[in-house]
Amino acid sequence: MMNKKGSSWWTWIWIIVFVVIMISVARHSYYRQATYNDITGRITNDYNEELQRQQEETYYQQQIQEKQQRQYEQEQYEKELRRQQEQQRQLEEKLQQQEEAQQYISPSCQSGYTNEYKCSGDWSQKKYQYSDCSSVWIMYEGCQYGCGEDGKCRATSLCTVGFKCKDSNYKGYQKSDCSWDFLEYCNYGCESGKCNPEPQQQCSSGWECKNSSHYGYRYSDCSWSSLNYCSGGCEYSSSGYTQCITKIPCTDSDHGQDYNIKGCVIYGSAVLKEEATKCDRCDLNPGYEKYVIEYYCTDNGVSLINHKCLYGCSDGKCNLEPQTSTITVSYVSDGDTIKLSSGEEVRLIGINAPELGQSCSSEAANKLKELVLGKEVTLEQDVDNKDQYGRLLRYVYVGDTFVNLEVVRLGLAHKYEYGSNTKYSSQFEQAENEAKQNEGCLWKSSQETYISDQCIYITNFHFNAAGNDNYNLNDEYVTLGNRCSYSIDMISWTIKDETASHLYTIPTFTFQSGSTFTLFTGTGTNTNSALYWGRTSDNYAAIWNNNGDTLFLRDSKGNLVLSQSYSGY
């Protein structure tokens, strides 16, 4: 047995051994963990370094490519600039040579560039002045962003680059020089750089016309069903509803066979654009001048009847019983104007005789005296009672002789439609044709060529001046043209209106072939293209009436060369 003292030593020995073992185990565990951390750390760092290296390599490649692109563009720009500079140098050498040569001729200006610029497309031109003070524009500089209003190249672009709306209907890509590429038409308009989408259709449902010939039911999505064909067309009725017309309509404006009213028959469907119009008219066939052709509606369409008018036919209707009066003629003024025993003055309508002093004027006046002076005449009114001068407008008869017509038939007056008084227009036309064939006084074969050629005409009749015509006389004018193949001496020719006192005599003047001249009412200096009547501002200074008038142009022999009327407004 061990004593207590020896047992105590063994205890301490075992404690020391245990501590040594634990320290050894702890150190081994620490070195093992440190070795693991070192290995895993190196692996992670190697991976991150490889990824970073690849990213840097990609970035450097992009930078190299961009640099190469910029270098290429710069080289191209410098190449073009060198080419332009070389051209400029050669041109300057040439200019210098020319300048040196000019110095021995007339050295009066300092040669060289001035400070004047102008644009020529995308180039800026600069003026070069020679010693002889002559100058030339030289292509000075090509403009990358276009040439500005000052003639110099712009430093920056005027336009932003990108896709945008060119206008309300087109979109495209606008470049820095403000030109456009990839233009596209937008069917529904362009906004914010994009074409608008197709709008969604919305329709009200119900029965209605699909088009001019079909009737059916339309749904809210605008589709159709139950379509029916309408032979007479499809249209809205007076009650506001659509209706299908099966019977082709016929309407008569004079409501049937009314021979005293000019009517028109409309047959067919205006909706289908297959409409026909027939209007009542006078029969022009020989022997049927007093007949009216009357159109009217029937169950089968349109029919017509030829009806004889008791007092003749004019303007598609029978003439009413003439409004006549009988009185004695006391004085003959000229070939178309007379005075009555009552003191009233009468203008014979449907005709126009030469004024006193003109060719055939005395013959016309003498014939009218022979027919009516001191005799009892019958006067017939047409539409108008009096003209603007207070003269009665009448057809004149002596027994069975139609005086107005007789004067025209003998070639002593021209047919002339006086305002709305056209009752016997066709008869006057036939009488004038007869006078031409018989070479009456106004139609002698010796008449000037320009009359038969009808080559003098009116190009512009400005009868209504701005404001008060009487105080704006040179805004009242008439322009005549000469399409004859020859020039015309117009000295002593006359121009007048329906008033005898309004007479202008042309002074020395040659009307050149193919030219025009304007006759102004006011005053001024006559030229080859302008003549002046010489009227001065006054309450009655204007010549041409705004409510209708007639121009008469006669040559120096009094022959009527041209007449033209207007109704005014």
- pLDDT score for 248: 66
In the numeric block, which tokens belong to residue 185? 């038409």
In the numeric block, which tokens belong to residue 477? 């004018």
Single-letter amino acid code for the residue at 504: Y
Locus of tokens 């009868």? 463
- Strands 392-398 and 345-348, by their bridges, are parallel
Q: Choose the most confident range, by mean pLDDT, from 26-30, 69-73, 409-413, 443-447.
A: 409-413
Average pLDDT, rounded, for the chain? 83
Residues written for the chain: 569
Q: 471 vs 174, which has greater pLDDT?
A: 471
| 3-class DSSP assignment, residue 357 | coil
- Whether 238 shows a pLDDT value over 60: the answer reads no
pLDDT digits (tens, 9 = 90+) for 85-105: 787 788 777 777 766 665 554
Locus of tokens 């910029």? 70
- pLDDT score for 43: 54
For 528-557, what is the mean pLDDT?
A: 91
User: Distance between CA atoms of 372 and 331, rounded to whole angstroms?
Assistant: 9
In the numeric block, which tokens belong to residue 327? 């009185």
pLDDT digits (tens, 9 = 90+) for 102-129: 555 445 688 888 888 888 877 777 778 8
For the chain, the helix, strand and coil percentages under 3-state DSSP, each to the nearest 5: 25, 35, 40
For 173-185, what is the mean pLDDT?
A: 82
pTM, two decimals, is 0.38
pLDDT digits (tens, 9 = 90+) for 250-267: 888 888 888 988 999 887
Q: 504 vs 17, which has greater pLDDT?
A: 504
- Whether 137 shows a pLDDT value over 90: the answer reads no
- Strands 414-416 and 264-267, by their bridges, are unpaired
- pLDDT score for 41: 56
| 3-class DSSP assignment, residue 97 | helix
- Whether 44 shows a pLDDT value over 60: the answer reads no
Eight-class DSSP state of 109:
S
pLDDT digits (tens, 9 = 90+) for 370-391: 999 999 999 999 888 898 889 9
User: Distance between CA atoms of 95 and 108, rounded to whole angstroms?
Assistant: 17
- Going along the chain from its start, the domains and CATH numbers come out as 68-156 (no CATH), 162-195 (no CATH), 206-244 (no CATH), 250-314 (no CATH), 322-440 (2.40.50.90), 449-566 (2.60.40.1260)
Q: Which of 37-51, 307-321, 374-388 has the lowest mean pLDDT?
A: 37-51
pLDDT digits (tens, 9 = 90+) for 352-365: 998 887 778 899 99
Return the C-alpha torsion angle 450, 451, 457, 463, nearest 10. Answer: 130
- pLDDT score for 199: 77
- Whether 31 shows a pLDDT value over 70: the answer reads no
Q: Are 555 and 561 in contact (CB under 8 A)?
A: yes
User: Distance between CA atoms of 412 and 336, rounded to whole angstroms?
Assistant: 10
